[in-house]
Amino acid sequence: MLLNIPKLPEQGTRKITIEEVRPELLSFRIYRDTQYWWIFLVYNEILDINQLQPGVILLYPNINYVEYLYEKVSL
């Protein structure tokens, strides 16, 4: 599944604010769910959460594709 995440279609971009340096908050603001926090890290090839700094622009995939991958893995 991890190898497929960078291949997912991009839904948009988000410039990180001071409040959003925690990935679970970023996940909640974009997807209304905190469980997808790690998707941003994999999708943007971030190896250390300290790279999430105010002003950094992140790409994020469409939630429908992310959920499809979840379903596919759990089958």
- What pLDDT score does 27 carry? 92
pLDDT value of position 56? 94
Per domain, the residue ranges of the chain are 2-74
Cα separation, 52 vs 72, whole angstroms: 29
What pLDDT, on a 0 to 100 scale, did the predictor assign at position 74? 57
Report yes or no: 55 and 16 within 8 Å, Cβ to Cβ.
yes
pLDDT at 9: 87
- 67: pLDDT confidence band, cut at 50, 70 and 90? confident
Tens digits of residue pLDDT in 11-58: 999 999 888 889 999 999 999 999 999 998 999 999 998 999 999 999
